Amino acid sequence: MSKAALNMLTLKQKAERPDITFITMCPGWVRTELGGKEADLEPEESIAGILKVISSVTNADSGKYLRYNGEEIPW
């Protein structure tokens, strides 16, 4: 429920402040203490993807839920 609430908050923020770009992001399944050794991504790969997405989003992306690689996640 908390992820759905965060996605809805992002949409509400987009509507309230159309001058600001709001997104939510999924970092992927990352090899950390939380993600475990079987996870798909090294932390550096996830971070690089997140930085690339953040630096390339536009206002047209506002309200979207995006993966670390830029793909949109429907919800």
In a domain? residue 19: yes
Q: Which amino acid makes up residue 51?
A: L
In a domain? residue 31: yes
pLDDT digits (tens, 9 = 90+) for 48-72: 999 999 999 999 999 999 999 999 9
| Phi, psi angles (nearest 5°) of residue 67 | -80, 165
In a domain? residue 23: yes
In a domain? residue 74: no
In a domain? residue 72: no
Q: What is the DSSP letter of 20?
A: S
Q: How many domains does the chain have?
A: 1
pLDDT digits (tens, 9 = 90+) for 11-47: 999 999 999 999 999 999 999 999 999 999 999 999 9
For residues 41 and 36, what is the distance between their CA atoms, to the nearest angstrom? 10
Q: What is the DSSP letter of 41?
A: B
| Phi, psi angles (nearest 5°) of residue 25 | -135, 145
The whole domain housing 23 covers 2-67
CA–centroid distance for 24 within its chain? 4
